[in-house]
Amino acid sequence: MEHTTCTLNRFVIEQQRNFPEARGKFTELLEHIAFASKIVNRETSKAGLVDILGLTGHVNVQGEEVQKLDQFAQSTFFKALDHTGLCACIASEEEPDILPIPDHFPCGDYVVTFDPLDGSTNIDANVSIGTIFGIHRRVSTGDRGETRDALQPGRNLVAAGYVIYGSSTILVYTCGGSAGVHGFTLDPSVGEFFLSHNFIRTPVSGSIYSTNEGNYQSWNAPTREFVDRLKTKDNPRGKSYSTRYIGSLVADFHRNLLYGGVFLYPSDTKDPSKPTGKLRLLSECAPLAFVCEAAGGKASTGYKRILDVEPTELHQRVPLIIGSPAEVEFYEQICAKHSKG
């Protein structure tokens, strides 16, 4: 398919033909997500020019200062979806509870979990930031969506993806499995996403690792051993790795997905039975794990496949190691070795 003429809409419609039972609802949902990302892109690209930088003075459920652009992104995505009749509810990283569909709008079968603007502490420094989204089918059967619709393991996702607002704006999504992972670059001159990365496959092994080594002292022993060995020849590569860390998950993940390598935000306790870490399962880790696995990569807590972690609360955090299989498996082997004592 000619990349320069294949829009996101055309691509999804043609993909839809592979699913005879499809009613076009998913195609419509992705279009609304893409539309919202164009609006967010417009604001992020001129954030320095209008009074949208800086903090709102509000604090989100994570206890983090909410940037104005965070709030703008969240309301933009919610308003793009709330009236469509496609969603039963929406779960945002910025909100303590699910965002129900207003009573005056119909409910649909989909549930969207998302981080409206990940990496937002980087906004004022003009560093690439992103939106992460996961799409589930609802499990509740009542009139309106319920929290349990969002509390599903990543293996139940029907689709997931992200938008990176960087030197160009790229939307990457997958329906999982053999459907492949595909990237679309926004041409701002026509306001359309065009197919630019068809069937993305992540390299089996990479030469990059991404982590905040400032946290080294709070890492457990397996994590320290893993990173120490990446700096030697005693690793899958047989020579030392390069470190690249932007501090914006979507940007670090996207680079590693294309080039190969591994990102980790490990547990910050010394007790692996209490997996914590900074990143949220539902709005960050599970959607990116779904994309990564569909591209041939792996995503783990070090002890468990991310997509198999059963959520118990909306803002549950998990340790994350994600990227090329060789490096993720190397980390898991080290974790297992330490667990044997």
List residues binding ligand AHG (CB under 6 A).
Answer: 64, 118-121, 212, 247-249, 265, 278
Nearer to ligand AHG, 120 or 220 (CB): 120
The token pair at 293 is 């696995």
- Contact between residue 110 and residue 87 where contact means Cβ atoms under 8 Å apart: yes
Nearer to ligand AHG, 38 or 280 (CB): 280
Q: Which candidate, 89, 100, 113, 110, places its Cα nearest to that of 315? A: 113
Tell me the backbone φ, ψ of residue 27, rounded to 5 degrees.
Answer: -55, -45
- Contact between residue 291 and residue 181 where contact means Cβ atoms under 8 Å apart: yes
* Three-state SS letters, 182-238: EEEEEECCCCEEEEEECCCCCCCCCCEEECCHHHHHHCCHHHHHHHHHHCCCCCCCC
- Contact between residue 251 and residue 119 where contact means Cβ atoms under 8 Å apart: yes
Nearest distance, CB of residue 132 and ligand AHG, angstroms: 9
Nearer to ligand AHG, 279 or 294 (CB): 279
Nearest distance, CB of residue 68 and ligand AHG, angstroms: 14
Task: Find the distance separating the first CA and the last CA of the chain, reported in whole Å.
Answer: 53
Nearer to ligand AHG, 212 or 333 (CB): 212
Nearest distance, CB of residue 64 and ligand AHG, angstroms: 5
Nearer to ligand AHG, 251 or 294 (CB): 251
H or E element: which one contains 111?
Answer: strand 110-118
Nearest distance, CB of residue 71 and ligand AHG, angstroms: 13
Nearer to ligand AHG, 121 or 198 (CB): 121
Nearest distance, CB of residue 120 and ligand AHG, angstroms: 5
Nearest distance, CB of residue 255 and ligand AHG, angstroms: 12
Q: Which residues contact 7 (CB under 8 A, 6 or more apart)?
A: 184, 192, 193, 194, 195
Nearer to ligand AHG, 202 or 248 (CB): 248
Nearest distance, CB of residue 119 and ligand AHG, angstroms: 4
